[in-house]
A and B are shown apart, each in its own frame.
Chain A
């Protein structure tokens, strides 16, 4: 398969399908859904081919494709994967299939709805595979458009406020990244990410670049205090939009920190790690409390996402503190791997939880916790899945939610007892907001006539729930394949960031 441009196929096949749907959809409404499903399934199958051909024994970029795009500025159409991007690409193609299944019954302009998602999927894959900084930037920005449309067209009543907030926040952040990239190009003469990794930069410049990147990626993660766009966006987004947003788009922030911030400006990252660690711990504890106060299920899950993403940013930036504390790098890789696993796991769990809310919303048309009560009486199977996913969200061992948090907490202890202590509060807060929701929505007597009339999962919903349950349990019981995929790349990254890039 090596002669096939596999990564390009993964990027452009969904985009081509999106164009096809948009054009054909008007005349051939019956073909829309099958075509979208086939496109995502084929893409997913291709990503499995990618995985099977992937060599986990090297940190080198694989499946590279490189073509000159704008010769004058040395900008390349350059794609490739390593152990850090492959898991995220697999997550993207998988969620893509689930989104199509979940959106099967969208009534309003289904061809455009599915086209928007396919377009989004292609762009996100491109972003994860991009090895040219400007290409990355293009995908990074372009992604906003389909998401903007998804929320703006198929969203809830307050969607205009939500979309503008979403757009301005992320756009605001990315401008700084673009400036930083251009500065780097002017200094080093290359937009190739791997070249940027080698470029020497003095500390003052590193700090500015670090902050520029941080703003761009912190908004995406999102980190406290630039997180308030997320609950609003989730609340207004249709189910599929929420799933993509939580499962994949938030990961772009984490991926950016791994691909840009840490390796390009490691000295600034070491000097300013307290900032990221501090914000992460605030996210974990503060946002954990805020989640507890929510009365809207989607808002609760959105805040829960922010809190859980705090583990990603915490795990990524523990390395320097560990070295300062112990003089050794043992534990640094644990933190970064933990952060990566947390990203994948959060993709499954948050996706599953938003789908679960969608199952209820489709029937009762309310996201308010108080509109429910005793759902387990009328939807016992659904309740079983929901309890599993919310337990996974509370970090139950044996589910994927445990793996990343466990690794990050273990690593945090290497850096500082108090990091581990504050991070550990998620054990309590996560359980409190997750299970309190379960209690109020699923347990108790049947709350009202709408709950009494509920019908248990349809076959299509079963398929979604089973798939995600298998993944959540699979990664929880045996995370080895996932960790093995990224291990060498993570170790290489740790080694890389331990070397100063200051000139001289």
Chain B
């Protein structure tokens, strides 16, 4: 078997799994459905690991090949094909690993759900779509994967489709993502127009020739073509990776079952935008303007979404805002050309954030689907494994030295400090402040959920217990990379050139390379981490959370009252939802109604069409005295006659 056919199996296995579980779910039963889908993803993981091994250890040369020709038209070949390099291999392993963990976890989480088989079919389908996205070697397939993961996300957010809040959230998620896709599609159209191809390799080869060209969009203002293309593409990333102001769908997506929050809305799909920019680094490198734009958007998201996380009471929403903030960090890294650092944080985040979501899910299961942290507390006594793994995940999230998140987040902060382009000053402030905020909300969550006095009612408390093995084993398996993966991969990935075949940074922009001498060894770097400002900011956040939520709970309420307006603004999430609801949803419907009534029914039909009819009617009143009958009767007669003539001609010829 050639490696090409093995690679083809990687996305196909989950597709087959999805079709089997989805179409024949009733036939194969619940166990059949989870076995088929889990084996499919496990097979994908094994093959992905094999490919990654070949890429990273045996120096498999970059594979770039077509699987089939989608269409050939007007001299343009649209191919479906794979690009297998270090970036793809890394993403494939991350996606299939987290997916497998989530599959196993789902056996426990969805145990009593009527839609058991359907759920497994969806997450298998998601894995297929995500793999197609990361393995693409062209924009067409990228867009296919991009939209396909969006659809599965839509189906899964609305998985409990009887719940009104769920089907509102999934419609909102899809439409907000479509705003991003709108920009993305225009970007793709521009790529085809200026580069003459949608194939990555050909586009990258054509990029230097396009650099320097300008385009006039509105009036005389000339844009750099590359800036225009990159910003359009990044708008797509803003939708998928939930960057301000297109972030509003992600917190609402928590209406979906928790396993998919972990898989789709934390570890994989929402990082597609980050992946895309890194994949297209040769293009983004040509426009510092676009990168500055990315930097500022990322910094805003990292800072302001983290702040909202502090005031949330729903355990999943805290983690959702944390995800937004962390995606902001990755975007900041992209904005300073530290693509490899962004991908590195993407990977560590995938593990520890999936872990945190699954731990939250474990809590939610134990409490019979209660998610309000004000009714938790003291769960450590009942759920030791969940508690320990949640701690490990949180320590990784706040960037505690030696944990995986430490390496990835610290390097982003260091990279921002070294960078030199518009927006860096604000971004520096945002990423530093973000460290304090992250520590604060993370430990607030830990204390409110697992420690302190219990606020559960008696009935809930008596039923609280540790989750079954299918839940705790994925937690443990995710906790291992959450702790260790940074230590072992930081040097090869960032400084050893492991991603060099996929990510291209201009020398003048290469802040990651400039960091190399700071990170002589992962051990020394982490040791040094204890004496940095970043560490003490984090400790300040931890300390504050400990004081307030563990020792002086009444203080929280007093602070809330003192902060008044600020607290309200955060609690309202800066009013984005209300604004969008009023302006876009409400406004759009008003326009629709106005055009429908005023344009179609009144003006065109009422005045013009029926008005003409009335006029003709009046005139015909005169004619009618001469000839009776209707216009269409005559027309009929004429036509039937014509047909008969043709028919008789054919028959009698």
Contact = CB atoms under 8 A, between A and B. Distances in A.
Interface of A: 8, 12, 15, 67, 69, 77, 123, 135, 138, 141-142, 144-145, 148, 164-165, 167-168, 171, 225, 228, 286, 289-294, 330-334, 337, 374, 376-377, 387, 391, 396-398, 402-403, 406-407, 409-410, 412-414, 417, 420-421, 424-425, 427-428, 431-432, 435-436, 439, 442-445, 478-480, 483-484, 487, 490-491
6 contacts: A138-B646, A290-B599, A292-B588, A398-B144, A420-B186, A443-B162
Contact of B74 (A332, A397, A478): A332
A436 B605 CA distance: 26
Given A8-B650, A292-B589, A483-B73, A141 B642 contact: yes
Contact of A286 (B193, B588, B595, B643): B595
Nearest to A426: B182
Q: Tell me what chain A mostly uses at the interface: helix, strand, loop, or mixed.
A: helix
Contacts of A165: 609
B596 interface: yes
A374 B635 contact: no
A164 B632 contact: yes
B588 A414 contact: no
Contacts of A479: 70-71
B162 A431 contact: no
B161 A444 contact: yes
B649 interface: yes
Interface string B56-85: 000000000000111111111000000000
Nearest to A418: B217
Contact of A171 (B604, B635, B650): B635
Interface stretch (B171-179, B361-369, B402-410): B171-179
B73 A228 contact: no
A222 to B, nearest CB: 11
Nearest to A430: B178
A107 B632 CA distance: 28
Nearest to A420: B189
B72 A376 contact: no
Given A413-B193, A424-B185, A427-B181, 6 more contacts: A165-B609, A171-B632, A293-B593, A391-B151, A409-B189, A424-B182
Contact of A142 (B192, B597, B631, B643): B643
Contacts, number: 175
Given A167-B632, A484-B72, A289 B167 contact: no
B646 A228 contact: no
A428 B178 contact: yes
A470 B387 CA distance: 48
Cβ-closest 5 pairs across A and B: A333-B74, A413-B189, A293-B596, A292-B592, A293-B592
Give the interface residue-count category, chain B: 35 or more
A423 to B, nearest CB: 10
Contacts of B592: 289-293
Contacts of B555: none
Interface in B598-653: 599-600, 604-605, 608-609, 613, 631-632, 635-636, 639-640, 642-643, 646-647, 649-650, 653
Given A396-B147, A413-B190, A337 B74 contact: yes
Contacts of A444: 161-162, 164, 167
B597 to A, nearest CB: 8
B71 A480 contact: yes
Contacts of A374: 161-162
Contacts of A332: 74
A135 B642 CA distance: 10
A331 B158 CA distance: 40
Contacts of B632: 148, 164, 167-168, 171
Contact of B193 (A141, A294, A414, A424): A414
B151 A396 contact: yes
B182 A478 contact: no
B162 A417 contact: no
Nearest to B636: A145
Given A397-B143, A439-B167, A228 B217 contact: no
Contacts of A420: 186, 189
B215 A417 contact: yes
A170 B147 CA distance: 39
Interface in B189-203: 189-190, 192-193, 196
B256 to A, nearest CB: 13
B393 to A, nearest CB: 33
Given A427-B181, A444-B164, A334 B74 contact: yes
Contacts of A414: 193
B596 A290 contact: yes
Interface in B565-608: 588-589, 591-593, 595-597, 599-600, 604-605, 608
A290 B193 contact: no
A180 B600 CA distance: 30
Given A293-B595, A397-B148, A420-B186, A443 B70 contact: no
Interface string B135-172: 00000000110111001001100100110100110010
Nearest to B74: A333
A410 B189 contact: yes
Given A228-B604, A289-B591, A396-B147, A421 B186 contact: yes
A331 B74 contact: yes
B71 A410 contact: no
Contact of A413 (B167, B171, B186, B609): B186
A290 B188 CA distance: 28
B148 to A, nearest CB: 6
A141 B646 CA distance: 13
A503 B73 CA distance: 32
A196 B596 CA distance: 41
Given A138-B646, A412-B189, A427-B182, A435 B74 contact: no
A445 B167 contact: no
Nearest to B76: A334
B600 A228 contact: yes
Contacts of B155: 387
A77 B649 contact: yes
A135 B646 contact: yes
A410 B74 CA distance: 12
Interface in B389-414: none
A12 B643 contact: no
A86 B77 CA distance: 23
A137 to B, nearest CB: 9
A294 B596 contact: yes
Contacts of B73: 333-334, 337, 407, 483, 487, 490
Interface in B68-113: 68-76
B12 to A, nearest CB: 13
Nearest to A167: B632
A480 B69 contact: yes
A228 B635 CA distance: 22
A377 B158 CA distance: 13
A15 B640 CA distance: 13
B516 to A, nearest CB: 41
Given A483-B71, A483-B72, A483-B73, A439 B171 contact: yes
- Among B155, B158, B161, B179, find the residue whose CB has the most chain A CB atoms closer than 10 A: B161
B189 to A, nearest CB: 4
A491 B72 CA distance: 12
Nearest to A445: B162
